[in-house]
Structure 1
Amino acid sequence: MKTTTLAEQDMQNVIATGRDTRTAVLTRSIRANVPLRKTFVQANKGAASRHGPLKDFVTGRDLRGLKAYLLIVAACSNGDKGWSTTHDSAVWARLMDIHETATDQSARTGAWRALRRLQERKLIECSRSGTMIKVTLLREDGSGESYDRPVGDAEENLFLQIPTTFWTMGRDERLDLPGLALFLVVAREKNWSAFPAGKAPEWYGWSPDTHERGLKQLVNLGLVERREHRTKAPLSPLGFTMAYQYQRTAITRPRKPKKSAAPAGR
Protein backbone atom coordinates (compact mmCIF):
# COMPACT_ATOMS: atom_id res chain seq x y z
CA MET A 1 0.00 0.00 0.00
CA LYS A 2 1.33 3.43 -0.99
CA THR A 3 1.86 5.77 1.94
CA THR A 4 2.09 9.55 1.93
CA THR A 5 5.06 11.11 3.69
CA LEU A 6 4.69 14.07 6.03
CA ALA A 7 6.51 16.24 3.50
CA GLU A 8 4.04 15.25 0.78
CA GLN A 9 1.11 15.93 3.11
CA ASP A 10 2.49 19.37 3.91
CA MET A 11 2.88 20.12 0.21
CA GLN A 12 -0.72 19.07 -0.47
CA ASN A 13 -1.94 21.36 2.29
CA VAL A 14 -0.30 24.45 0.79
CA ILE A 15 -1.44 23.91 -2.82
CA ALA A 16 -4.64 25.80 -3.60
CA THR A 17 -7.69 23.72 -4.47
CA GLY A 18 -10.34 24.57 -7.01
CA ARG A 19 -12.62 25.87 -4.27
CA ASP A 20 -9.79 27.95 -2.80
CA THR A 21 -9.28 29.54 -6.21
CA ARG A 22 -12.97 30.18 -6.78
CA THR A 23 -13.23 31.76 -3.34
CA ALA A 24 -10.27 34.05 -4.07
CA VAL A 25 -11.85 35.19 -7.35
CA LEU A 26 -15.19 35.88 -5.67
CA THR A 27 -13.59 37.67 -2.73
CA ARG A 28 -11.86 39.99 -5.19
CA SER A 29 -15.19 40.76 -6.90
CA ILE A 30 -16.47 42.21 -3.58
CA ARG A 31 -20.12 41.23 -3.82
CA ALA A 32 -22.58 39.07 -1.90
CA ASN A 33 -24.77 38.09 -4.86
CA VAL A 34 -24.13 37.53 -8.56
CA PRO A 35 -26.72 38.90 -11.06
CA LEU A 36 -27.58 36.84 -14.14
CA ARG A 37 -30.11 37.92 -16.76
CA LYS A 38 -33.15 35.69 -16.79
CA THR A 39 -32.91 35.41 -20.58
CA PHE A 40 -29.94 33.07 -20.14
CA VAL A 41 -32.34 30.49 -18.72
CA GLN A 42 -35.43 31.23 -20.79
CA ALA A 43 -36.32 33.77 -23.46
CA ASN A 44 -39.06 36.25 -22.71
CA LYS A 45 -42.65 35.58 -23.78
CA GLY A 46 -43.31 36.45 -27.40
CA ALA A 47 -39.93 35.24 -28.64
CA ALA A 48 -39.83 32.75 -31.53
CA SER A 49 -38.50 30.17 -29.06
CA ARG A 50 -38.59 30.22 -25.26
CA HIS A 51 -35.25 28.39 -25.09
CA GLY A 52 -32.35 30.32 -23.59
CA PRO A 53 -28.60 29.68 -24.02
CA LEU A 54 -28.80 27.31 -21.03
CA LYS A 55 -30.41 24.72 -23.32
CA ASP A 56 -27.19 24.18 -25.31
CA PHE A 57 -25.21 23.37 -22.16
CA VAL A 58 -27.78 20.77 -21.11
CA THR A 59 -28.29 19.11 -24.48
CA GLY A 60 -24.54 19.29 -25.15
CA ARG A 61 -23.76 17.75 -21.74
CA ASP A 62 -21.37 20.59 -21.00
CA LEU A 63 -21.33 20.79 -17.20
CA ARG A 64 -17.77 22.10 -17.17
CA GLY A 65 -18.68 24.89 -19.55
CA LEU A 66 -21.77 25.89 -17.56
CA LYS A 67 -19.85 26.02 -14.28
CA ALA A 68 -17.11 28.05 -15.95
CA TYR A 69 -19.60 30.50 -17.43
CA LEU A 70 -21.40 31.15 -14.16
CA LEU A 71 -18.08 31.74 -12.43
CA ILE A 72 -17.01 34.16 -15.17
CA VAL A 73 -20.23 36.12 -14.66
CA ALA A 74 -19.46 36.18 -10.94
CA ALA A 75 -15.90 37.37 -11.52
CA CYS A 76 -16.63 40.02 -14.15
CA SER A 77 -20.07 41.49 -13.49
CA ASN A 78 -18.92 44.03 -10.90
CA GLY A 79 -17.40 46.05 -13.76
CA ASP A 80 -14.15 46.68 -11.92
CA LYS A 81 -12.07 45.87 -15.01
CA GLY A 82 -14.50 46.55 -17.82
CA TRP A 83 -16.41 43.27 -17.55
CA SER A 84 -13.16 41.32 -18.03
CA THR A 85 -10.87 39.09 -16.01
CA THR A 86 -7.43 37.67 -16.80
CA HIS A 87 -5.70 34.62 -15.31
CA ASP A 88 -2.96 32.17 -16.17
CA SER A 89 -4.33 29.12 -17.99
CA ALA A 90 -3.34 26.96 -15.00
CA VAL A 91 -5.56 29.12 -12.77
CA TRP A 92 -8.43 28.79 -15.24
CA ALA A 93 -7.94 25.02 -15.16
CA ARG A 94 -8.05 25.04 -11.35
CA LEU A 95 -11.18 27.21 -11.36
CA MET A 96 -12.83 24.44 -13.41
CA ASP A 97 -11.28 21.56 -11.40
CA ILE A 98 -9.66 20.21 -14.58
CA HIS A 99 -6.32 19.91 -12.78
CA GLU A 100 -7.71 17.08 -10.64
CA THR A 101 -7.80 14.57 -13.50
CA ALA A 102 -5.24 15.85 -16.00
CA THR A 103 -1.58 16.71 -16.36
CA ASP A 104 -0.62 20.37 -16.15
CA GLN A 105 -0.45 20.87 -19.91
CA SER A 106 -3.62 18.89 -20.58
CA ALA A 107 -5.43 20.90 -17.92
CA ARG A 108 -4.30 24.17 -19.51
CA THR A 109 -5.49 22.96 -22.91
CA GLY A 110 -8.81 21.79 -21.46
CA ALA A 111 -9.44 25.19 -19.88
CA TRP A 112 -8.78 27.00 -23.17
CA ARG A 113 -11.12 24.67 -25.04
CA ALA A 114 -13.88 25.20 -22.49
CA LEU A 115 -13.55 28.96 -22.82
CA ARG A 116 -13.54 28.72 -26.61
CA ARG A 117 -16.86 26.86 -26.45
CA LEU A 118 -18.31 29.75 -24.49
CA GLN A 119 -17.03 32.14 -27.13
CA GLU A 120 -18.65 30.07 -29.88
CA ARG A 121 -21.95 30.45 -28.01
CA LYS A 122 -21.43 34.25 -28.05
CA LEU A 123 -21.43 34.48 -24.27
CA ILE A 124 -17.85 35.70 -23.88
CA GLU A 125 -14.85 36.87 -25.85
CA CYS A 126 -11.50 35.31 -24.96
CA SER A 127 -7.92 35.80 -26.05
CA ARG A 128 -4.56 34.57 -24.86
CA SER A 129 -1.02 35.84 -24.72
CA GLY A 130 1.48 33.21 -23.69
CA THR A 131 -0.14 31.39 -20.77
CA MET A 132 -2.41 34.30 -19.84
CA ILE A 133 -6.07 34.15 -20.91
CA LYS A 134 -8.33 37.20 -20.89
CA VAL A 135 -12.10 36.75 -20.82
CA THR A 136 -14.69 39.47 -21.43
CA LEU A 137 -18.40 39.03 -20.76
CA LEU A 138 -21.00 39.44 -23.49
CA ARG A 139 -24.74 39.72 -22.96
CA GLU A 140 -26.24 36.61 -21.34
CA ASP A 141 -28.87 36.05 -24.05
CA GLY A 142 -26.27 34.78 -26.53
CA SER A 143 -26.84 37.67 -28.93
CA GLY A 144 -23.15 38.60 -28.95
CA GLU A 145 -23.93 42.14 -27.82
CA SER A 146 -21.70 43.92 -25.33
CA TYR A 147 -22.39 43.22 -21.67
CA ASP A 148 -23.89 45.73 -19.28
CA ARG A 149 -25.04 45.12 -15.75
CA PRO A 150 -28.75 44.19 -15.59
CA VAL A 151 -30.72 46.64 -13.49
CA GLY A 152 -34.29 45.36 -13.90
CA ASP A 153 -35.57 48.46 -15.70
CA ALA A 154 -37.04 46.47 -18.62
CA GLU A 155 -38.09 42.88 -19.28
CA GLU A 156 -34.82 42.08 -21.05
CA ASN A 157 -32.93 43.37 -18.03
CA LEU A 158 -34.67 41.28 -15.38
CA PHE A 159 -32.21 39.13 -13.47
CA LEU A 160 -31.89 36.38 -10.92
CA GLN A 161 -29.27 36.39 -8.16
CA ILE A 162 -26.93 33.67 -6.95
CA PRO A 163 -25.24 34.14 -3.55
CA THR A 164 -21.45 33.85 -3.68
CA THR A 165 -21.75 31.26 -0.90
CA PHE A 166 -23.07 28.93 -3.61
CA TRP A 167 -19.42 28.59 -4.67
CA THR A 168 -17.50 29.34 -1.49
CA MET A 169 -19.45 26.70 0.46
CA GLY A 170 -19.01 24.15 -2.33
CA ARG A 171 -22.71 23.79 -3.14
CA ASP A 172 -21.96 23.94 -6.87
CA GLU A 173 -19.65 20.94 -6.48
CA ARG A 174 -22.52 18.66 -5.44
CA LEU A 175 -24.67 19.27 -8.53
CA ASP A 176 -24.68 17.38 -11.81
CA LEU A 177 -25.83 19.04 -15.03
CA PRO A 178 -29.62 18.58 -14.56
CA GLY A 179 -29.33 19.77 -10.97
CA LEU A 180 -27.40 22.93 -11.86
CA ALA A 181 -29.71 23.73 -14.77
CA LEU A 182 -32.83 23.33 -12.63
CA PHE A 183 -31.26 25.40 -9.87
CA LEU A 184 -31.12 28.28 -12.36
CA VAL A 185 -34.69 27.55 -13.49
CA VAL A 186 -36.02 27.72 -9.92
CA ALA A 187 -33.95 30.83 -9.18
CA ARG A 188 -35.46 32.54 -12.23
CA GLU A 189 -39.03 32.39 -10.91
CA LYS A 190 -40.95 33.60 -7.88
CA ASN A 191 -41.02 31.54 -4.69
CA TRP A 192 -43.38 28.57 -4.78
CA SER A 193 -43.68 28.30 -8.55
CA ALA A 194 -44.61 25.13 -10.42
CA PHE A 195 -42.24 23.58 -12.95
CA PRO A 196 -44.21 20.91 -14.84
CA ALA A 197 -41.91 18.40 -16.51
CA GLY A 198 -44.25 18.10 -19.48
CA LYS A 199 -43.53 21.74 -20.38
CA ALA A 200 -39.75 21.35 -20.23
CA PRO A 201 -39.19 20.70 -23.97
CA GLU A 202 -41.23 23.77 -24.93
CA TRP A 203 -40.07 26.12 -22.18
CA TYR A 204 -36.42 25.14 -21.77
CA GLY A 205 -35.43 22.73 -24.55
CA TRP A 206 -34.61 19.57 -22.61
CA SER A 207 -36.45 16.36 -21.79
CA PRO A 208 -39.02 15.85 -19.02
CA ASP A 209 -36.74 13.17 -17.53
CA THR A 210 -33.82 15.63 -17.27
CA HIS A 211 -36.19 18.16 -15.71
CA GLU A 212 -37.46 15.75 -13.07
CA ARG A 213 -33.99 14.45 -12.22
CA GLY A 214 -32.75 17.98 -11.68
CA LEU A 215 -35.59 18.92 -9.34
CA LYS A 216 -35.23 15.67 -7.40
CA GLN A 217 -31.51 16.25 -6.84
CA LEU A 218 -32.08 19.79 -5.62
CA VAL A 219 -34.69 18.62 -3.10
CA ASN A 220 -32.52 15.71 -1.92
CA LEU A 221 -29.55 18.05 -1.35
CA GLY A 222 -31.63 20.57 0.57
CA LEU A 223 -31.02 23.35 -1.97
CA VAL A 224 -34.70 23.57 -2.96
CA GLU A 225 -37.86 22.77 -1.03
CA ARG A 226 -41.11 21.36 -2.40
CA ARG A 227 -44.76 21.53 -1.36
CA GLU A 228 -48.07 20.24 -2.68
CA HIS A 229 -50.50 22.78 -4.10
CA ARG A 230 -54.14 21.86 -4.73
CA THR A 231 -56.53 23.72 -7.01
CA LYS A 232 -60.31 23.28 -7.00
CA ALA A 233 -61.46 21.42 -10.13
CA PRO A 234 -65.19 20.61 -10.08
CA LEU A 235 -65.04 18.37 -13.17
CA SER A 236 -62.08 16.24 -12.07
CA PRO A 237 -62.70 12.87 -10.36
CA LEU A 238 -61.26 14.08 -7.04
CA GLY A 239 -62.65 17.60 -7.28
CA PHE A 240 -59.16 19.10 -7.31
CA THR A 241 -55.85 18.95 -9.15
CA MET A 242 -52.50 18.74 -7.41
CA ALA A 243 -49.11 20.08 -8.50
CA TYR A 244 -45.77 20.50 -6.80
CA GLN A 245 -44.36 23.97 -6.18
CA TYR A 246 -40.72 24.77 -5.48
CA GLN A 247 -38.56 27.50 -4.03
CA ARG A 248 -34.94 27.85 -3.00
CA THR A 249 -34.10 27.05 0.60
CA ALA A 250 -32.61 29.77 2.78
CA ILE A 251 -29.01 28.69 2.13
CA THR A 252 -29.31 29.33 -1.61
CA ARG A 253 -31.36 32.52 -1.61
CA PRO A 254 -29.72 35.90 -2.29
CA ARG A 255 -28.04 37.37 0.76
CA LYS A 256 -29.44 40.61 2.09
CA PRO A 257 -26.96 43.49 2.24
CA LYS A 258 -25.75 44.36 5.70
CA LYS A 259 -27.29 47.49 7.12
CA SER A 260 -24.93 50.37 7.67
CA ALA A 261 -24.47 51.48 11.24
CA ALA A 262 -26.55 54.54 12.11
CA PRO A 263 -24.47 57.71 12.48
CA ALA A 264 -23.82 58.81 16.03
CA GLY A 265 -26.05 61.59 17.27
CA ARG A 266 -24.64 65.08 17.64
Structure 2
Amino acid sequence: MATTSFLDPFEGIEDAPEPTPAETRTALLQQARRGYVPLRKEFVQKRRGEHDEPRGSVLGSIVHSRQQRGLDAFLLMHALHPVTRDDPLDVKTWARILSVGNRCTPNAASKTFSVLEEMNLLTREQDGRRTLISPLNETGDGTPWARAGEDSEEDGPGFFVVPHEYWTSGLSEKLTLPGKAMFLVLLHDTQTPTTPTFSVALERMAKWYGISERTAERGYRELDQAGVLIQRPVKVLDHRHPAGRRTVHHRALMSPFGTRDRQRLQLKTRKAVKKKAERMSTVGGGR
Protein backbone atom coordinates (compact mmCIF):
# COMPACT_ATOMS: atom_id res chain seq x y z
CA MET A 1 0.00 0.00 0.00
CA ALA A 2 1.49 3.37 -1.04
CA THR A 3 2.14 5.91 1.63
CA THR A 4 1.61 9.63 1.18
CA SER A 5 4.37 11.84 2.56
CA PHE A 6 3.23 14.65 4.86
CA LEU A 7 3.59 18.11 3.37
CA ASP A 8 4.24 20.75 6.00
CA PRO A 9 2.15 23.81 5.06
CA PHE A 10 4.38 25.96 7.29
CA GLU A 11 7.63 24.99 5.61
CA GLY A 12 9.75 28.09 5.00
CA ILE A 13 7.71 30.22 7.37
CA GLU A 14 10.13 31.28 10.09
CA ASP A 15 10.44 33.99 12.68
CA ALA A 16 12.27 37.06 11.40
CA PRO A 17 15.47 37.86 13.30
CA GLU A 18 15.00 40.59 15.89
CA PRO A 19 16.33 43.88 14.49
CA THR A 20 18.74 46.01 16.46
CA PRO A 21 17.61 49.50 17.53
CA ALA A 22 19.95 50.92 14.87
CA GLU A 23 18.35 48.76 12.17
CA THR A 24 14.88 49.89 13.24
CA ARG A 25 15.94 53.53 13.14
CA THR A 26 17.51 53.15 9.70
CA ALA A 27 14.43 51.37 8.32
CA LEU A 28 12.16 54.19 9.52
CA LEU A 29 14.49 56.85 8.10
CA GLN A 30 14.43 55.05 4.74
CA GLN A 31 10.64 55.16 4.78
CA ALA A 32 10.88 58.96 5.17
CA ARG A 33 12.69 58.89 1.78
CA ARG A 34 13.77 62.52 1.83
CA GLY A 35 17.38 61.78 2.84
CA TYR A 36 17.60 64.79 5.14
CA VAL A 37 15.58 66.77 7.65
CA PRO A 38 15.13 70.56 7.20
CA LEU A 39 15.17 72.69 10.36
CA ARG A 40 14.55 76.37 10.85
CA LYS A 41 17.75 78.27 11.53
CA GLU A 42 16.16 79.97 14.52
CA PHE A 43 16.50 76.67 16.39
CA VAL A 44 20.25 77.36 16.48
CA GLN A 45 20.37 81.16 16.49
CA LYS A 46 17.84 83.94 16.89
CA ARG A 47 17.49 86.42 14.08
CA ARG A 48 19.61 89.52 14.24
CA GLY A 49 17.76 92.26 16.13
CA GLU A 50 18.09 96.01 16.18
CA HIS A 51 20.40 95.90 19.17
CA ASP A 52 23.58 93.95 19.77
CA GLU A 53 21.92 91.38 22.02
CA PRO A 54 22.60 87.68 22.75
CA ARG A 55 21.37 85.46 19.92
CA GLY A 56 21.46 82.06 21.61
CA SER A 57 18.28 80.09 20.93
CA VAL A 58 16.73 76.69 21.67
CA LEU A 59 19.91 74.71 20.96
CA GLY A 60 21.80 76.76 23.52
CA SER A 61 19.08 76.07 26.10
CA ILE A 62 19.24 72.34 25.41
CA VAL A 63 23.03 72.37 25.83
CA HIS A 64 22.85 74.47 29.00
CA SER A 65 20.34 72.04 30.56
CA ARG A 66 22.40 69.04 29.39
CA GLN A 67 19.50 67.42 27.54
CA GLN A 68 21.44 65.17 25.16
CA ARG A 69 18.63 62.63 24.87
CA GLY A 70 16.22 65.53 24.42
CA LEU A 71 18.26 66.75 21.44
CA ASP A 72 18.37 63.22 20.00
CA ALA A 73 14.59 62.86 20.36
CA PHE A 74 13.95 66.31 18.88
CA LEU A 75 16.02 65.63 15.77
CA LEU A 76 14.52 62.17 15.23
CA MET A 77 11.01 63.50 15.77
CA HIS A 78 11.50 65.90 12.85
CA ALA A 79 13.37 63.38 10.70
CA LEU A 80 10.63 60.75 11.08
CA HIS A 81 7.63 63.08 10.94
CA PRO A 82 6.88 62.18 7.28
CA VAL A 83 6.15 58.59 8.42
CA THR A 84 4.79 59.23 11.92
CA ARG A 85 2.42 62.09 11.12
CA ASP A 86 -0.39 59.77 10.01
CA ASP A 87 0.81 56.57 11.69
CA PRO A 88 2.27 57.49 15.12
CA LEU A 89 4.86 55.36 16.88
CA ASP A 90 4.25 53.74 20.23
CA VAL A 91 6.36 55.19 23.04
CA LYS A 92 8.01 51.76 23.32
CA THR A 93 9.14 52.08 19.70
CA TRP A 94 10.49 55.57 20.41
CA ALA A 95 12.39 54.08 23.36
CA ARG A 96 13.79 51.45 21.02
CA ILE A 97 15.14 53.85 18.42
CA LEU A 98 16.49 56.12 21.17
CA SER A 99 18.39 53.13 22.58
CA VAL A 100 21.07 53.18 19.88
CA GLY A 101 24.33 53.47 21.81
CA ASN A 102 22.63 54.02 25.16
CA ARG A 103 19.60 52.05 26.37
CA CYS A 104 16.43 54.09 26.78
CA THR A 105 13.39 52.73 28.65
CA PRO A 106 9.82 53.69 27.70
CA ASN A 107 9.62 55.67 30.95
CA ALA A 108 12.82 57.56 30.08
CA ALA A 109 11.51 58.25 26.57
CA SER A 110 8.25 59.60 28.03
CA LYS A 111 10.17 61.88 30.40
CA THR A 112 12.30 63.13 27.51
CA PHE A 113 9.23 64.08 25.49
CA SER A 114 7.85 65.78 28.61
CA VAL A 115 10.94 67.99 28.72
CA LEU A 116 10.52 68.90 25.04
CA GLU A 117 6.84 69.60 25.66
CA GLU A 118 7.79 72.01 28.48
CA MET A 119 10.13 73.74 26.03
CA ASN A 120 7.18 74.25 23.62
CA LEU A 121 8.79 72.03 21.00
CA LEU A 122 6.01 69.45 20.72
CA THR A 123 2.52 68.48 21.80
CA ARG A 124 1.32 65.12 23.14
CA GLU A 125 -2.15 63.61 22.95
CA GLN A 126 -3.46 60.24 24.09
CA ASP A 127 -5.00 58.02 21.42
CA GLY A 128 -6.02 54.92 23.31
CA ARG A 129 -2.80 53.32 24.43
CA ARG A 130 -0.72 55.38 22.02
CA THR A 131 0.74 58.82 22.60
CA LEU A 132 0.54 61.10 19.58
CA ILE A 133 3.64 63.28 19.37
CA SER A 134 3.49 66.31 17.07
CA PRO A 135 6.23 68.92 16.58
CA LEU A 136 5.72 72.61 17.23
CA ASN A 137 7.75 75.40 15.66
CA GLU A 138 11.49 74.79 16.20
CA THR A 139 11.88 78.25 17.75
CA GLY A 140 10.13 77.15 20.95
CA ASP A 141 7.51 79.88 20.72
CA GLY A 142 4.66 77.36 20.86
CA THR A 143 3.28 78.22 17.42
CA PRO A 144 2.03 75.43 15.11
CA TRP A 145 4.66 73.63 13.08
CA ALA A 146 4.56 73.90 9.30
CA ARG A 147 6.43 71.68 6.87
CA ALA A 148 9.49 73.31 5.35
CA GLY A 149 8.48 74.85 2.06
CA GLU A 150 4.99 75.88 3.16
CA ASP A 151 6.09 79.14 4.72
CA SER A 152 9.55 79.44 3.14
CA GLU A 153 11.85 77.57 0.81
CA GLU A 154 13.59 74.77 2.68
CA ASP A 155 16.87 75.54 0.93
CA GLY A 156 16.48 79.27 1.49
CA PRO A 157 18.01 81.51 4.15
CA GLY A 158 15.58 80.40 6.83
CA PHE A 159 16.52 76.69 6.83
CA PHE A 160 19.43 74.31 7.13
CA VAL A 161 19.39 70.54 6.66
CA VAL A 162 20.66 67.52 8.61
CA PRO A 163 21.47 64.57 6.30
CA HIS A 164 20.08 61.21 7.42
CA GLU A 165 23.66 59.94 7.24
CA TYR A 166 24.17 61.66 10.59
CA TRP A 167 22.31 58.61 11.97
CA THR A 168 22.95 55.88 9.39
CA SER A 169 26.74 56.43 9.42
CA GLY A 170 26.87 56.11 13.22
CA LEU A 171 28.07 59.69 13.73
CA SER A 172 25.25 60.44 16.16
CA GLU A 173 26.64 57.76 18.51
CA LYS A 174 30.23 58.97 18.26
CA LEU A 175 29.33 62.45 19.52
CA THR A 176 28.24 63.63 22.94
CA LEU A 177 26.19 66.79 23.49
CA PRO A 178 29.05 69.27 22.75
CA GLY A 179 29.87 67.49 19.48
CA LYS A 180 26.23 67.30 18.42
CA ALA A 181 25.74 70.99 19.21
CA MET A 182 28.75 72.14 17.21
CA PHE A 183 27.77 69.82 14.35
CA LEU A 184 24.41 71.64 14.16
CA VAL A 185 26.09 75.05 14.43
CA LEU A 186 28.37 74.17 11.51
CA LEU A 187 25.45 72.87 9.43
CA HIS A 188 23.55 76.06 10.27
CA ASP A 189 26.35 78.41 9.22
CA THR A 190 27.60 76.55 6.13
CA GLN A 191 24.25 75.87 4.46
CA THR A 192 24.77 77.99 1.36
CA PRO A 193 27.54 77.84 -1.29
CA THR A 194 28.64 81.37 -0.37
CA THR A 195 29.46 80.29 3.20
CA PRO A 196 31.23 76.90 2.99
CA THR A 197 33.33 77.55 6.11
CA PHE A 198 32.67 78.68 9.68
CA SER A 199 35.03 81.16 11.37
CA VAL A 200 33.32 82.55 14.48
CA ALA A 201 35.83 83.07 17.30
CA LEU A 202 35.42 80.88 20.39
CA GLU A 203 34.96 83.89 22.66
CA ARG A 204 31.85 84.88 20.68
CA MET A 205 30.12 81.49 20.93
CA ALA A 206 28.26 82.29 24.17
CA LYS A 207 26.78 85.54 22.86
CA TRP A 208 26.01 84.31 19.36
CA TYR A 209 24.82 80.76 20.08
CA GLY A 210 24.38 80.41 23.84
CA ILE A 211 27.20 77.83 23.91
CA SER A 212 30.20 78.30 26.17
CA GLU A 213 33.73 78.56 24.84
CA ARG A 214 34.70 75.36 26.66
CA THR A 215 31.75 73.43 25.22
CA ALA A 216 32.58 74.66 21.72
CA GLU A 217 36.20 73.52 22.11
CA ARG A 218 35.05 70.08 23.25
CA GLY A 219 32.63 69.91 20.34
CA TYR A 220 35.30 70.72 17.78
CA ARG A 221 37.57 68.10 19.33
CA GLU A 222 34.84 65.43 19.07
CA LEU A 223 34.11 66.30 15.44
CA ASP A 224 37.82 66.15 14.64
CA GLN A 225 38.19 62.77 16.33
CA ALA A 226 35.13 61.50 14.44
CA GLY A 227 36.86 62.46 11.18
CA VAL A 228 34.25 64.91 9.91
CA LEU A 229 35.94 68.27 10.59
CA ILE A 230 38.40 70.20 8.41
CA GLN A 231 40.28 73.12 9.98
CA ARG A 232 42.58 75.77 8.56
CA PRO A 233 44.13 78.66 10.54
CA VAL A 234 44.72 81.81 8.47
CA LYS A 235 46.61 84.99 9.38
CA VAL A 236 44.64 88.16 8.70
CA LEU A 237 45.63 91.81 9.01
CA ASP A 238 44.86 93.43 12.36
CA HIS A 239 46.75 96.66 12.98
CA ARG A 240 45.60 96.72 16.60
CA HIS A 241 47.26 93.37 17.24
CA PRO A 242 50.85 93.51 18.59
CA ALA A 243 52.06 91.45 15.63
CA GLY A 244 49.92 93.29 13.07
CA ARG A 245 48.10 90.07 12.27
CA ARG A 246 45.80 87.68 14.11
CA THR A 247 44.77 84.10 13.47
CA VAL A 248 41.32 83.21 12.19
CA HIS A 249 40.31 79.54 12.31
CA HIS A 250 38.22 78.40 9.35
CA ARG A 251 36.29 75.17 9.89
CA ALA A 252 34.14 73.05 7.58
CA LEU A 253 32.46 69.65 7.58
CA MET A 254 33.77 66.81 5.44
CA SER A 255 31.71 64.69 3.05
CA PRO A 256 28.94 63.58 3.29
CA PHE A 257 28.10 66.62 5.43
CA GLY A 258 29.86 69.37 3.48
CA THR A 259 27.99 72.27 1.92
CA ARG A 260 28.15 70.84 -1.60
CA ASP A 261 27.07 67.41 -0.40
CA ARG A 262 23.96 68.88 1.18
CA GLN A 263 23.21 70.97 -1.90
CA ARG A 264 23.40 67.85 -4.10
CA LEU A 265 21.20 65.92 -1.68
CA GLN A 266 18.53 68.63 -1.77
CA LEU A 267 18.69 68.90 -5.56
CA LYS A 268 18.28 65.13 -5.88
CA THR A 269 15.22 65.23 -3.63
CA ARG A 270 13.64 68.16 -5.48
CA LYS A 271 14.06 66.34 -8.80
CA ALA A 272 12.49 63.19 -7.35
CA VAL A 273 9.54 65.17 -5.96
CA LYS A 274 9.04 66.97 -9.29
CA LYS A 275 9.22 63.68 -11.21
CA LYS A 276 6.66 62.10 -8.88
CA ALA A 277 4.32 65.09 -9.24
CA GLU A 278 4.57 64.93 -13.03
CA ARG A 279 3.87 61.19 -12.99
CA MET A 280 0.82 61.67 -10.76
CA SER A 281 -0.39 64.50 -12.99
CA THR A 282 -0.08 62.28 -16.06
CA VAL A 283 -2.00 59.45 -14.38
CA GLY A 284 -4.71 61.84 -13.20
CA GLY A 285 -5.01 63.47 -16.63
CA GLY A 286 -5.44 60.11 -18.30
CA ARG A 287 -8.57 59.22 -16.34
Alignment TM-score, normalising by the size of structure 2: 0.76
Matches within 5 A, 1:1-150: 14-46=17-49, 49-76=54-81, 78=82, 83=85, 86-97=88-99, 101=103, 107-150=105-148
Is the CA contact 1:163–1:252 (under 8 Å) kept in the aligned structure 2? yes
- Structure 1 residues 161 and 213: CA distance shift in structure 2, 3 A: same
Is the CA contact 1:32–1:164 (under 8 Å) kept in the aligned structure 2? yes
- Structure 1 residues 99 and 226: CA distance shift in structure 2, 3 A: closer
Q: How many Å separate the matches in 1 of 2:228 and 2:47?
A: 26
Q: How many Å separate the matches in 2 of 1:72 and 1:27?
A: 14
Query: Structure 2 counterpart of 1:165, which letter?
Result: E
Unaligned runs of 5+ in 2: 1-14, 191-195, 276-287
- Structure 1 residues 207 and 235: CA distance shift in structure 2, 3 A: closer
Q: How many Å separate the matches in 1 of 2:59 and 2:221?
A: 19
Is the CA contact 1:84–1:137 (under 8 Å) kept in the aligned structure 2? no
In the other structure, the counterpart of 1:208 is: 213
Matches within 5 A, 1:188-199: 188-190=188-190, 191-199=196-204
| CA shift for structure 1 position 38 | 0.6
From 225, 237, 242, the equivalent of 2:242 is: 237
In the other structure, the counterpart of 1:247 is: 252
Q: How many Å separate the matches in 1 of 2:25 and 2:114?
A: 20
Unaligned runs of 5+ in 1: 1-10, 262-266
Query: Structure 1 counterpart of 2:164, which letter?
Result: T
Q: How many Å separate the matches in 1 of 2:209 and 2:248?
A: 19
In the other structure, the counterpart of 1:4 is: none
Is the CA contact 1:225–1:248 (under 8 Å) kept in the aligned structure 2? yes
Q: How many Å separate the matches in 2 of 1:84 and 1:57?
A: 28
Q: How many Å separate the matches in 2 of 1:187 and 1:98?
A: 23
Q: How many Å separate the matches in 2 of 1:64 and 1:167?
A: 14
Structure 1 moving runs of 4+ over 6 Å:
none
In the other structure, the counterpart of 2:177 is: 177
| CA shift for structure 1 position 217 | 1.1
Q: Higher Cα Rg: structure 1 or 2?
A: 2
Alignment TM-score, normalising by the size of structure 1: 0.82
SS in 1 for 2:45: coil
Q: Output one character per residue of 1:87-123: Cα deviation in whole Å (capped at 9) or x when no partner.
A: 1121110111189546xxxx11111111111111111
| CA shift for structure 1 position 37 | 0.6
Is the CA contact 2:100–2:173 (under 8 Å) kept in the aligned structure 1? no
